[in-house]
Chain A
């Protein structure tokens, strides 16, 4: 199980303290505090322009910070000169949305590059490259140039290159955004496998909640250069605290169907029906509540439901349509339900 993010945790591999970065008058990062612990997969999600790319680039100092501190493996990047930064960077792998492979080098030469840069001998290089190519399943493509590869294969080469020197940290900059859904899944699976094999800490940025859900232990939501929400993935998925997070979650947790949404009115309609949203986990725990709602008095039917399991935690909602029989009757029902169910929520009223 992932550990909770505590700011005093001593097992931090990366720590950001009030990091600021502005481009002209625009603050890309507006006071970001973040701690990423060794061994976890940490996702940072946000809309485009939220500052995700700038944020991840401060971790390997591709982007300088205007204020605040970035500490990687105990070293304050702000205190290092170019040589020191290069030393830190050699312990951080990075993969990119557009792969960024050298087109004039073969797959083998691309993967070999980090070892060549750090001056390792030819034999050691070859051994490490073949091992990585085996791990990413591209041994037979060693002599091929990147132009001949599919997008998924290119990203596999990118991953092999990023990890061949055995870094303690892998940064992923929208690594699956240019790939189709099926290839995305295979790349995410590969990252999970490699993390288990090599024990590397992964920090990834994405605009897709499905990516967070698939691989991450922790997630931070970035908006306008600030972290607006963070926590274990199952917590954020189960109980999103901001509107932005709820909107981002729509792709993985479908909201009420549009046809139903369109009929919805905020005030009671008589004769009509009321839509009530309940926690699906609560309903599982308290089947009597469901029995009550579906009894003749209320004529309840489930009109929408979604249930999901993340990191072993199950959550979701069920929306029921009930016969509306006046305000008093509804209030009585709610108070009765509240003894068993958390937050029954009236979504609105429909004709019928």
Chain B
């Protein structure tokens, strides 16, 4: 591999990092509250609102069932409205966030729902407000699961970010398609795959390590 190739890789890796990092952060910021809303408004939750719960669930399912490549195109007007352009790394963050948010919301919901109901009851018996129940019991108890779920979300985002190359987003996926596939540069193709495997492995290991360190149940 030439020095130019290495520069290509460095640039693509940085672009992927920006896309995944930004959309991952935003989906955490938006998805966790949505997951919480799903859990607390569900029947038997600490703030039951069955109608709202069904409505929110339906919206989340709608986004979840749309394949990312279609979402990417369908969201073009929205993307232009939000960031003023539909091309480039920043533009890709919008559809990636829109796809990852409901995904993480569902994963967060699963972790939050597994928190022992007895703990919620204990907090209620202590006169805790709903917000205190969320802050002191629901989120801390679900934390290891949330970390594992967020790791899965990041890994999924790395995959999705490759498709974002379709809107000129750059990144590792774009590199593989333009150089590896269209220019028949097999070295680049293999290089991208190796880099992806390494990056995903590191993220997965780091996520598992953090989740394990956080878990006090064992």
Contacts and interface: CB of A to CB of B under 8 A. Distances in A.
Nearest to B142: A104
B136 A113 contact: yes
A101 B136 CA distance: 12
A103 B216 CA distance: 6
A85 to B, nearest CB: 8
Contacts of B143: 104
A86 interface: yes
B27 to A, nearest CB: 23
B127 interface: yes
B85 interface: no
A92 to B, nearest CB: 7
B126 A89 contact: yes
Contact of A90 (B126, B141, B214): B126
Contact of B122 (A88, A90, A92, A96): A96
Interface stretch (A114-122, A192-200, A234-242): A114-122
Interface in B95-150: 116, 118-119, 121-129, 132, 136-137, 140-141, 143
Interface in A41-88: 60, 62, 85-88
Contacts of B183: none
A94 B125 contact: yes
Q: How large is the interface on B (under 10, 10 to 19, 20 to 34, 35 or more residues)?
A: 20 to 34
B125 to A, nearest CB: 4
A295 interface: no
A86 B125 contact: no
B126 A104 contact: no
Given A100-B116, A102-B140, A147-B216, A86 B129 contact: yes
Contacts of A145: 216
Contacts of A104: 140-141, 143, 214, 216
A178 B125 CA distance: 20
B217 A147 contact: yes
Given A113-B136, A117-B132, A117-B136, A102 B119 contact: yes
B59 interface: no
B218 interface: yes
Nearest to B117: A100
A45 B129 CA distance: 31
A89 B124 contact: yes
Nearest to A116: B136
Given A102-B137, A103-B217, A147-B217, 12 more contacts: A86-B127, A89-B124, A89-B125, A90-B126, A90-B127, A96-B121, A100-B122, A102-B140, A114-B126, A114-B127, A116-B136, A161-B126
Interface of A: 60, 62, 85-90, 92, 94, 96, 98, 100-105, 113-114, 116-118, 145-147, 161, 171
24 contacts: A60-B125, A86-B129, A89-B124, A89-B127, A94-B122, A94-B125, A96-B118, A96-B121, A100-B121, A101-B122, A102-B119, A102-B136, A102-B137, A102-B140, A103-B216, A104-B214, A113-B126, A114-B126, A117-B126, A117-B128, A147-B216, A147-B217, A147-B218, A171-B125
